[in-house]
């Protein structure tokens, strides 16, 4: 990745490193929170950054719904270029559907309503849209009449974002990625961004983006700088104002940082605004403090992550720090790691496989969706795990007392008697798979720490 940001220290940027240190401790000690990366920027410079091994700064990470904020940026760029009018009706971009889409509310739906997740539907329509037309998500979506007048109610609705992506593709004649590369990614120094595509070859838009943590920070910094990068205006200031202010209320949301309203594919928050994605992908922007926080992870309690930001990191801004605290934090961040298997009570070396190693050609217990698990040993004696599901198969070398990284996976194993446990991390995604094999009776169970939302084991990686 092109290095976009100047590196500095917390105290030089007016942040007490002890507060960032306390924030890192909170992330590591909070149940249902697992951090993978962290970058804290102030005044456009990096105050602190760290990656929990086996995750690393040069690896992309699946963003899930944080992808929406990049899709919205594409719309904002198209608006600035005069290619898209926020007040144009959605149906005007799909004239081939004009005769079919007869519902009056749908026909009054505007581009700005899609951006604000205010299509008039009371709930997400992705399953119904795809069932209505399995080959054309936009057509399936527009054939579902809204429950209320567009613009009047909020509902987190994936086809809204997908349709925005399709509008950009139509007005530009390019894919979303091709549209964004010279207009957003190149100016921000982002040289690696990939997107999952549907069966039609279209980027999902609402999910499926893969990017490095620094790319997340760069997007947040662009909005913090009100659409200007290195003197070049990329997004109109009016667009930034609308995108980062509440366009539609969502008071029914339970968590306090999800109930402050929604902008243009950004959530409002108790402090500033943010883009986020499932399992703890965050781009938090704090305009009053001139701070951006970029994070990836595997966290099922995302509110707890934000609570930790407000409790520890935010109060550290404009609080006196010290060079000694900076040094301690730097050393800690450089040594971050997620613990591998091994070292627990009864754990021992993997040793040798039985003469007839277990294999599960029919079924695997647990919720993994795996069809088969095979254990082998290579010529060096290293254990190798092969996982098979509907997406294909992936072969994973297993480390002992360490994460053995191989391509887009990292695995660690340990043995207790006749039972072997292996943890497999798909290091370009949030996901961790727990596998347990009984070497005596050959039974296998496998379960996800967090369930993948799109993919199987063979496709949990950056798409080509």
The domain that holds 28 is classified in CATH as 3.40.710.10
Same domain, 325 and 279: yes
Predicted pLDDT of residue 348: 73
Banded model confidence at residue 381, pLDDT cuts 50, 70, 90: confident
Between 119-128, 243-252, 348-357, 410-419, the lowest mean confidence (pLDDT) is in 348-357
Predicted pLDDT of residue 442: 81
pLDDT value at 422 more than 90: yes
Alpha-carbon separation of residue 282 from 293, 311, 407, 422 (angstroms): 8, 17, 25, 29
| E runs forming strands in 243-286 | 267-268, 273-277, 281-286
Supply the pTM of this predicted model.
Answer: 0.96
**Which stretches of 30-119 are DSSP H helices?**
67-80, 104-108, 111-115
Residue 296 lies in a domain: yes
Q: d(Cα 272, Cα 285) in Å, to the nearest integer?
A: 6
User: Into how many domains does the chain fold?
Assistant: 2
Residue % of the chain over a pLDDT of 90:
86
Is residue 296 within 8 A of residue 37, CB to CB? The reply is: yes
Predicted pLDDT of residue 99: 97
Between 108-112, 427-431, 434-438, the lowest mean confidence (pLDDT) is in 434-438
Tell me if the bond preceding 54 is cis, omega within 30° of 0: yes
pLDDT in tens, 60-100: 999 999 999 999 999 999 999 999 999 999 999 999 999 99
Between 130-144, 305-319, 370-384, the lowest mean confidence (pLDDT) is in 370-384
> What number is the average pLDDT over the span 235-261?
94
Same domain, 189 and 269: yes
Residue 323 lies in a domain: yes
pLDDT in tens, 196-217: 999 999 999 999 999 999 999 9
Q: Compute the CA torsion angle 438, 444, 449, 455 (nearest 10 deg).
A: 150
pLDDT in tens, 104-139: 999 999 999 999 999 999 999 999 999 999 999 999
pLDDT in tens, 155-180: 999 999 999 999 999 999 999 999 99
Same domain, 324 and 394: no
Per-residue H/E/C for 331-356: HHHHCCECCCCCCCCCCECCCCCCCC
Query: Of 464, 447, 456, nearest to 391 (Cα)?
Result: 456
Is residue 353 within 8 A of residue 383, CB to CB? The reply is: yes
Burial 407-436 (b: 16+ CB within 10 A, else e): ebbbbbbbbeeeebbbbbbbbbbbbbbbbb
Query: Of 109, 118, 113, 111, nearest to 75 (Cα)?
Result: 111
> What number is the average pLDDT over the span 241-262?
93
Residue 365 lies in a domain: no
Coil vs helix vs strand at 436: strand
Query: Of 212, 176, 284, 208, nearest to 2 (Cα)?
Result: 212
Banded model confidence at residue 359, pLDDT cuts 50, 70, 90: low
Same domain, 376 and 281: no
Is residue 246 within 8 A of residue 260, CB to CB? The reply is: yes
Q: d(Cα 296, Cα 56) in Å, to the nearest integer?
A: 11
> What number is the average pLDDT over the span 182-189?
97
Q: d(Cα 8, Cα 87) in Å, to the nearest integer?
A: 43
Please enumerate in sequence order all residues whose Cβ is within 8 A of that of 278, keeping only pairs 6 or more positions apart, or say none. Answer: 64, 65, 207, 430, 453
pLDDT in tens, 262-276: 999 999 999 999 999
Is residue 333 within 8 A of residue 65, CB to CB? The reply is: no
Q: d(Cα 13, Cα 43) in Å, to the nearest integer?
A: 7
Banded model confidence at residue 287, pLDDT cuts 50, 70, 90: very high
Predicted pLDDT of residue 441: 82
**How does DSSP classify residue 410?**
E
Same domain, 310 and 393: no
Q: Supply the mean pLDDT for the chain.
A: 94
Banded model confidence at residue 425, pLDDT cuts 50, 70, 90: very high
> What number is the average pLDDT over the span 304-320?
98
Residue 266 lies in a domain: yes
pLDDT value at 242 more than 50: yes
Question: Which residues span the domain enclosing 450?
Answer: 372-459
Q: d(Cα 226, Cα 255) in Å, to the nearest integer?
A: 28
Same domain, 243 and 184: yes
Same domain, 303 and 386: no
Residue finishing a domain among 305, 334, 363:
334
Residue 148 lies in a domain: no
Predicted pLDDT of residue 396: 96
Residue finishing a domain among 319, 334, 349:
334
Residue 188 lies in a domain: yes
Q: d(Cα 255, Cα 121) in Å, to the nearest integer?
A: 21
Same domain, 265 and 410: no
More confident residue, 365 or 332: 332
> What number is the average pLDDT over the span 303-308?
98
> What number is the average pLDDT over the span 32-60?
98
Residue 17 lies in a domain: yes
Banded model confidence at residue 363, pLDDT cuts 50, 70, 90: low
Cβ neighbour number for residue 359 with a 10 Å cutoff: 15
Residue 58 lies in a domain: yes
Predicted pLDDT of residue 1: 39
Same domain, 197 and 265: yes
Name the one residue in this structure whose structure tokens are 């105050």: 47
Same domain, 318 and 435: no
Same domain, 397 and 297: no
Long-range pairs, 386-390, Cβ under 8 A, ≥24: 387/424, 387/433, 387/435, 387/446, 387/457, 388/457, 389/456, 389/457, 389/458, 390/456
> What is the H or E stretch that residue 384 is in?
strand 383-389
Same domain, 318 and 416: no
> What number is the average pLDDT over the span 445-463?
94
> What is the H or E stretch that residue 66 is in?
none
pLDDT value at 2 more than 50: no
> What number is the average pLDDT over the span 375-399?
92
């Amino acid at each position: 990745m092109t290095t976009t940001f100047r590196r500095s220290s917390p105290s030089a940027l007016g942040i007490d490193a002890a507060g960032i240190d306390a924030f890192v401790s909170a992330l590591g000690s909070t149940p249902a929170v697992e951090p993978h990366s962290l970058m804290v920027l102030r005044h456009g410079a990096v105050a602190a950054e760290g990656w929990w091994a086996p995750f690393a700064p040069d690896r992309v990470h699946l963003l899930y719904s944080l992808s929406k904020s990049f899709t919205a940026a594409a719309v904002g760029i198209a608006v600035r270029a005069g290619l898209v009018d926020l007040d144009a009706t959605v149906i005007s971009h799909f004239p081939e559907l004009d005769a079919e889409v007869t519902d009056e509310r749908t026909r009054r739906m505007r581009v700005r309503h899609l951006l604000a997740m205010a299509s008039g539907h009371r709930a997400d329509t992705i399953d119904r849209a795809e069932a209505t037309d399995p080959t054309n998500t936009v057509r399936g979506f527009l054939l579902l009449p809204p429950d209320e007048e567009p613009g009047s109610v909020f509902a987190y609705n994936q086809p809204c974002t997908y349709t925005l992506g399709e509008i950009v593709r139509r007005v530009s004649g390019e894919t979303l990625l091709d549209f964004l590369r010279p207009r957003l990614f190149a100016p921000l120094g982002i040289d690696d961004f990939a997107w999952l595509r549907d069966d039609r070859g279209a980027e999902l838009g609402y999910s499926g983006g893969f990017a490095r943590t620094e790319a997340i920070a760069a997007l947040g910094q662009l909005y913090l700088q009100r659409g200007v990068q290195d003197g070049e205006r990329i997004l109109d200031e009016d667009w930034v104002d609308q995108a980062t202010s509440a366009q539609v209320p969502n008071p029914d949301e339970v968590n306090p940082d999800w109930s402050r309203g929604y902008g243009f594919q950004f959530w409002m928050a108790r402090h500033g605004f943010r883009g986020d994605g499932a399992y703890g992908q965050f781009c938090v922007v704090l305009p009053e403090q001139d701070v951006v926080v970029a994070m990836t992870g595997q966290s099922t309690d995302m509110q707890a992550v934000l609570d930790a930001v407000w409790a520890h990191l935010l109060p550290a801004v404009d609080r006196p720090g010290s060079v000694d605290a900076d040094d301690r934090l730097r050393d800690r961040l450089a040594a971050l790691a997620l613990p591998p298997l091994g070292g627990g009570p009864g754990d021992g070396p993997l040793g040798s496989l039985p003469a007839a190693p277990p294999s599960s050609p029919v079924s695997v217990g647990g919720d993994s969706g795996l069809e088969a698990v095979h254990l082998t040993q290579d010529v060096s004696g290293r254990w190798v795990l092969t996982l098979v599901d509907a997406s294909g198969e992936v072969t994973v070398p297993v480390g002992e007392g360490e994460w053995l990284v191989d391509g887009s996976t990292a695995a660690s194993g340990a043995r207790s008697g006749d039972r072997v446990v292996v943890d497999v991390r798909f290091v370009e995604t949030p996901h961790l798979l727990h596998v347990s094999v009984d070497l005596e009776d050959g039974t296998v169970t496998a379960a996800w720490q967090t369930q993948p939302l799109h993919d199987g084991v063979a496709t949990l990686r950056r798409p080509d």
